[in-house]
Structure 1
C-alpha cells in the first residue's frame, strides 16, 4: 500500500513552472509538546509539492494569487524528484489539491445582471391586466333619476336603527350590479337636507360603503 501524506497551509516559496507540472514548497509545523515521557518534540518539515498543470488549472486562480491562499494537499512521498527541483526536505506528488475556505469569509459570487425586460415580465406575471388598463376606456358615471346632489359617505349621518339589520343579498346584488355597470348606485340615497341624516335607502348606502365609493347621489 502506498504511503499517504496530507499537507495543509500556504506555499512558502514561489511556484516553479516546469511545463507539464509545477513545484512549490509548503511547511508543516511540529507540535509544541510531545507525549509525556518522550524527551523530544517534532520539528517543522518543508515539503516540495509537485502538482500537474491540469490540476493547477482546475483551481482557476493565478500563480500570484496562489501564495495567498491556503490549501489541503493529499499525495504520496517521492524520492525521485531531481535535487535541483526538490528544495524541501521531502518531495510529495500531489494526488489531490483543494482550497481551504477561511471561516466566516464568504466566497464572492459574481454579480448577476437581470435580463433585459425581466422586470417588465415579472410585472406582467403578477398583474397580467396592468398592461391593458391604459387601453380600457373609463365608463361614464350615470346620474340616477331624482338626484339632487352628490355627497361623500362620510358626510351622511346614519341613525342607530339602520345598522341593526343587514340588507338582503338580492338587494345588495342589484345595487352591486348597478355600481359595476354605471359607476354608482341605481337610485339616489334619501337624506334630510338640513341634518344630512339618512332617511331611507340604507341598502344602497351599505353597498356603496362596502364598494368604497367616493361619493353617492342623494335626494331630499
Structure 2
C-alpha cells in the first residue's frame, strides 16, 4: 500500500538524488559563467579606499570607471577606455594620474605636494584642485579643457586641442602656461610672482591678471 505522505527520510533521499543530477550540469553552467564574466568586464568599475602609502591601480574597459580615495602617500593611477572616468582624492603627497579615452575625464583633488596629470582623449577634460606645490598638467584632445586651481608654487600647464581651453588660478609663485589650438583660450589669474604665458591659435585669446612680480606675455 502506497504511503499517503513522505517522511523525513524519503525527502532526504529525493533531495540527494536531485542534487547529484544538478551538479552533473556543472560544466555547461561553467561555460555560461565565464561568458557572463566577460560581459561584466565591460563597463566595469575599480573602486576602493587605500590606506597609508596605498595604491589604487587598474585598467577599466569600455565605459569603465576608476575611482577611489588614497591615503597618505597614495596614488590613484589607471587607464580608462571609451567614455571612462578616472576620479579620486589623493592625500598627502598623492598623485592622480592616468589616461582617459574617448569622452573621458580625469578629475580629482590632490593634497600637499600632489599632482594631477594625464592625457584626455576626444572631448576629454582634465580638472582638479592641487594643494601646496601641486601641479595640474596634461594634454586635452579635441574640444578638451584643462582647468583647475593650483595652490602655493603650483603650475597649470598643458596643451589643448581644437576648441580647447586652458583656464585656472595659480597661487603664490604659480604659472599658467600652455598651447591652445583653434579657437582656444588661455585664461587665468596668477598670484604673487606668477606668469601667464602661452600660444593661442586661430581665434584664440590669452587673457589674465598677473600679481606682483608677474608677467603677462604671449610667446
TM beyond 0.5: no
Q: Going by fraction, where is helix more abundant, 1 or 2?
A: 1
From the CA coordinates, give the structure whose radius of gyration is larger: 1
Query: RCO (CA 8 Å, sep 6+): is it higher in 1 or 2?
Result: 1
Provide the TM-score with structure 1 as the length reference. Answer: 0.21
